[in-house]
A and B are shown apart, each in its own frame.
Chain A
């Protein structure tokens, strides 16, 4: 076991973990009893059929975790791309709790999201004085992008219910309930868009429908700030050319490491392009000028006002932060987590080592690992939960309804919830982040030069497909074409395709995402129950993007022909 220390400071109180009691005439039992009872349903012998994992392997892994001096399970985005993520994550937390891994001995780590950067936040939220509206990302994308239609086209309602415990009608009802009850904010249609740093028409599922919906809603104005002609820039009314990496002052940090990289303007921006910050300074200048000229004053929006007549002054801190260099200097020289380094020194070194103020949950100590939740295990600070502890019992009505009050297991939707037999995995590209560099010729020459799928040789043989053939992938929402590449490391009932390809790289510009379907997990949309309420980047529903499935066939020549075939 990881630790024999008692984490709770309870004095002489020795709480019952197990047993059945009667309190004021009511029969009660402990959460631990309930958790044990539920877990007993899922012995390694019983789960082998579903998981394909031999019981010995499961036990070996469990003992491996239990015996480790320290064990951290890092919950990344892949798990959250399945509808049963919440169950998986809760089981991770339970595994770690039962094996004594918390704080210095490990735990569930989601700290990779971000470090504490108060000055950054101050600039991005205008000091919280006129905070932007936030929504649960997946909820807004699914509803505003018209994705429900695609969900209905793809999944078999009855099969879906058997797999995940709810069908599409129930999912839709629960989505509506979450909005009506105010558990999850949703602000409806957009009127205009200035999009920065998001290739949204590449990224989103049901891509064509999503794009049509957004361009219809924002038909008056769709602006894209971009370094290249990507699939979003292609559809914008205006593209504002942005300075690229090494052409603008910039800072990058992320939670996997404790360094902030400092980007200098090594070369001047190409042509008329400008850093994002400068573009926004110029845009707000004009907006403010026109707002004053047209006599547009404060616009009430909930608790705050939207002040177009002072937007430039607000954005630039009254003219002090006009350029990317100004903003970078302000953040570097005023951020407590950077320890008072000058911008010149930081640029010379290339990076800044974050100090104790960077820790979000507890100080980030020099020369010590940033262990998850030591403020709670060592410092006895309550967790930000309803009970102040790691919670293994939730009696929110929806958790009760979906029989999920304690950690349990559910199947993901997958092919079994549809009429298309092949699992479909769409991991990150090997050498890019999403669509960044996806159409770069040097990188393309190191793969197949065009979008390709990965297929097990046995499946390929069954379907008469050879390496290099062009194939058609199809489901209830349509089809796309790609080159087949043999890949023995994937099961024969699965297809894999790297996800970042631009729609304009596909034959007929018909991307994977046109037919790639998504789901929402209703449990992730609950609110009004202690810590289970909408909190940006902590509790909000994402799209469940790995639940799509396909069938595959050799492409017919007429399907992929074009007048200028090469």
Chain B
């Protein structure tokens, strides 16, 4: 879908510490009320893992090789995790409950399999994958909406749901393979990440990017050849889309994670990465090996004092250079 300009985000997974500050910034700004309590427009999941909502990677959606919508399903409330409440008053003030606890027995949540990953000590491995709406160039949600309620803004490519037109049919929820459209039962309408457009319009980055303590997020326009997105995605090709095979052409890109070497049976270091390359390729496609090589080479150059334009960008010295919003 052609737009005049496209805003885009790059996230460096080597720098994400899984602190959930982005999740919380988004939650408190947009989704802690009015039927959105279960939604995480931005979530951080541990991979390998089931992700959020649970097992979303196997729920279908997106496009097949011929460009037709693939069937998808809507996650259950349990897949999202029940937003349990607490008996603060009864446990701490009136003393009528014996201890502080959730009002439902927790059996699943948005970050339930945090830090689990794969492998076993000392060769276990995992990393954090922060996810938001990809504001795709070919959005599955938009293609599936029979009400024409979903649109891409011409000026920045942000994908929005027109709340006046939406009738809550939920085709968009099923069609998004990333499961980043949510159905609000309280108002019978679908809702999703709006890329903090009221902030963007004031020249401010999204809340998730502004608050990120690891400084892992860059925001800019795809066509800005002087900007960070162009450098990371086009020039050095170190930032890759998640599941490009799903056919939606995401505008959110990830720098894949390097990992330490594996240990042998006697504790010796082996010449083999802890995170298998094939696994990373199953997420980010064929460009992973080249991207990791580039990062390794540039890191070494920086360490050797030779300087590296790429590393200077990835370090993220100041917000003004990380967020190019004009």
Residues of A with Cβ closer than 8 Å to B?
48, 52-54, 56-57, 60, 229, 234, 430-431, 439, 441-450, 454, 456-458, 468, 483, 485-492, 502, 504-509, 562, 564, 566
Contacts and interface: CB of A to CB of B under 8 A. Distances in A.
Given A54-B268, A56-B268, A489-B117, A445 B97 contact: no
A508 B84 contact: no
Contact of A488 (B102, B116, B269): B116
A274 B102 CA distance: 31
Contacts of A457: 120
Given A444-B86, A445-B110, A502-B100, A48 B121 contact: no
A392 to B, nearest CB: 29
A487 B116 contact: yes
B104 interface: yes
Contacts of B119: 488
12 contacts: A54-B264, A57-B267, A57-B268, A430-B20, A441-B86, A444-B86, A445-B84, A448-B106, A487-B116, A488-B116, A489-B124, A562-B98
B109 A488 contact: no
A200 to B, nearest CB: 18
B60 interface: no
A502 B101 CA distance: 11
A522 to B, nearest CB: 33
A509 B23 CA distance: 30
B277 interface: no
Nearest to A496: B115
A52 B266 CA distance: 8
B306 interface: no
Contact of A508 (B97, B98, B112, B116): B98
B268 A450 contact: no
Size category of the B interface is 35 or more
Interface in B76-91: 81, 83-86, 88, 91
A564 B97 CA distance: 8
Contact of B111 (A52, A447, A458): A447
A508 B100 CA distance: 10
B100 A447 contact: no
Contact of B269 (A56, A234, A456): A56
Contacts of B121: 456, 488-492
Contacts of A445: 81, 83-84, 109-110
Q: Main SS of chain A's interface residues?
A: loop
A442 B24 contact: yes
B51 to A, nearest CB: 14
Contacts of B259: none
A449 B269 contact: no
B100 A439 contact: yes
A46 to B, nearest CB: 14
Interface in B251-296: 263-264, 266-269
A508 B99 contact: yes
Contacts, number: 114
Contacts of A456: 120-121
Central interface residue in A53, A431, A562, by most chain B CB within 10 Å = A431
Contacts of A562: 98
B151 interface: no
A430 B267 contact: no
Contacts of A60: 269
Contacts of A56: 268-269
Contacts of A439: 86, 88, 100
B99 A446 contact: no
Given A54-B269, A56-B269, A446 B120 contact: no
Contact of A507 (B99, B263, B264): B99
Contacts of B111: 446-447
The 7 closest A-B pairs by CB, nearest first: A449-B106, A54-B267, A488-B124, A489-B124, A229-B92, A54-B268, A449-B102
B201 interface: no
A430 B110 contact: no
B120 A488 contact: yes
A491 B124 CA distance: 10
A53 B266 CA distance: 8
Contacts of A509: 98-99
A65 to B, nearest CB: 15
Nearest to B38: A445
Nearest to B18: A430
A217 B15 CA distance: 49
B83 A431 contact: no
B211 interface: no
Nearest to A449: B106
Given A450-B102, A457-B120, A507-B99, A57 B269 contact: yes
B156 to A, nearest CB: 29
